[in-house]
Amino acid sequence: MAFHNQLGKAGEELACDYLITQGFTIRETNWRVGKLEIDIVAHKPGTDKLHIVEVKTRASDEHYDPMRAITAVKKRNLVAAANAYVRYSHVQMAVQYDVVIVVGRGPDFKFQYIPNAFQPALRTYR
């Protein structure tokens, strides 16, 4: 497995571990529909929110802010994947889009959880 794939997998495992310690139930990891993917689908029991969690893992943030990787296209794809998940799973909860940023190598990761990191764009009809 290539280094960036190993790093990404480690970041997603770290994110899942963190969410579990915060009381979340992990419903899915790496859920796919077509070419779209959701890194983590989570729910906190007792709430009415489904959390769609995008994990960005980088070896270093020295010259690049990992949050910049959440582009408009990435957001649209996450929203489309979340809509497909809600339909497929018959979920009747509000959806919240969270981001987890993991930076580092090995055991010395910096970790940042950003709840409600973005809202989907509203569509207007003419």
| Domains, the chain | 3-117 (3.40.1350.10)
- What is each CA distance from 67 to 29, 42, 124, in whole angstroms? 20, 20, 27
Q: Bigger pLDDT: 3 or 75?
A: 75
Whole-prediction pTM? 0.88
Range 105-112 average pLDDT: 79
Contact 100, 54 (CB under 8 A): yes
pLDDT at 94: 95
pLDDT at 12: 93
